[in-house]
Amino acid sequence: MATTNDLKNGMTLKLDGGELWSVLEFQHVKPGKGGAFVRTKLKNVTSGKVVDKTFNAGTKVETANVDRRDMQYLYHDGDSFVFMDNDTFDQVNVLPDVIGDAANYLLESAIATVATYEGNPLYVELPAAVELVISQTDPGVQGDRSTGGTKPATLETGAVVQVPLFITTGEKIKVDTRSGDYLGRVN
């Protein structure tokens, strides 16, 4: 248990009958009239929904101990994605709905942050950008310029991203894992 005076960004709270909420922002407010309060912006850990919530100052809130560890992605066994803790060598199975779009940018032996609560995986966080090889894209046409349009390209993970017309099959590119945007070539 903690009070609203102890809130910090990134802290995970257990509210509304056991739902987990991560603190994105908080602000202590002391109006000239009335009691102080804490205005927060909270993100639901499982659904990703963001809400604004106000607490009276000093109110007790239940904190949740979420374990965030860097783990190595081993393989996809058909039903789940298998990660290994590099310190303990324990393996954790993560269901596809927990991974979400991160699966589009996940290569074997890649390092990702896996957050667990009471042994259950909550979410998987990839680095902001990853480097992947293009496995297939249509050839560029003479006269294609870097300021021109874009074309679809299939990455080695199977994901499809939009790339500039001059990019060819076999090139390594950098991709933003949050939006799926092309960020540039990798030499």
- What is the CATH number for 51? 2.30.30.30
CB 42 within 8 A of CB 50: yes
Total domains present in the chain = 3
pLDDT tens digits for range 53-112: 999 988 899 988 888 899 999 998 888 999 999 888 999 999 888 888 888 899 888 999
Q: Provide the CB-side half-sphere exposure for 108 (13 A, CA).
A: 4
> 177 and 134: one domain?
yes
Domain finish residue from 89, 109, 125: 125
Q: Estimate the share of the chain in helix, then strand, then coil, as percent rounded to the nearest 5.
A: 5, 50, 40
> 12 and 44: one domain?
yes
> 158 and 176: one domain?
yes
* pLDDT band at residue 187 using 50, 70 and 90 as cut-offs: confident
Count of C-beta atoms within a 10 Å radius of residue 56: 10
CB 134 within 8 A of CB 169: yes
Q: What is the DSSP string of 56-96?
A: ETT-EEEE---EEEEEEEEEE-SS-EEEEETTT--EEEE-H
Domain hosting residue 20, numbered range:
2-63
> 11 and 57: one domain?
yes
Judge whether residue 139 has pLDDT over 60: yes
pLDDT tens digits for range 17-35: 778 888 999 999 999 888 8
The three-state secondary structure class of 121 is strand
| Predicted pLDDT of residue 26 | 92
> 179 and 134: one domain?
yes
Instruction: Find how far residue 46's CA is from the centre of its chain.
Output: 12
Report the residue count for the chain. Answer: 187
Judge whether residue 160 has pLDDT over 90: yes
Residue of 21, 31, 120 lying closest to 61 (CA atoms): 21
| Predicted pLDDT of residue 142 | 60
Domain finish residue from 63, 86, 111: 63
| Predicted pLDDT of residue 120 | 84
Domain finish residue from 105, 125, 145: 125
pLDDT tens digits for range 43-70: 888 777 899 999 998 889 998 888 889 9
| Predicted pLDDT of residue 146 | 55
| Predicted pLDDT of residue 39 | 93
> 71 and 44: one domain?
no
> 15 and 56: one domain?
yes
| Predicted pLDDT of residue 145 | 61
CATH number at residue 97: 2.40.50.140
> 115 and 142: one domain?
no
pLDDT tens digits for range 3-22: 888 888 888 888 877 788 88
Is pTM beyond 0.75 here? no
Separation CA 160–CA 150 (nearest Å): 12
Judge whether residue 153 has pLDDT over 60: yes
Residue of 64, 68, 66 lying closest to 15 (CA atoms): 64
> 100 and 147: one domain?
no
| Predicted pLDDT of residue 64 | 87
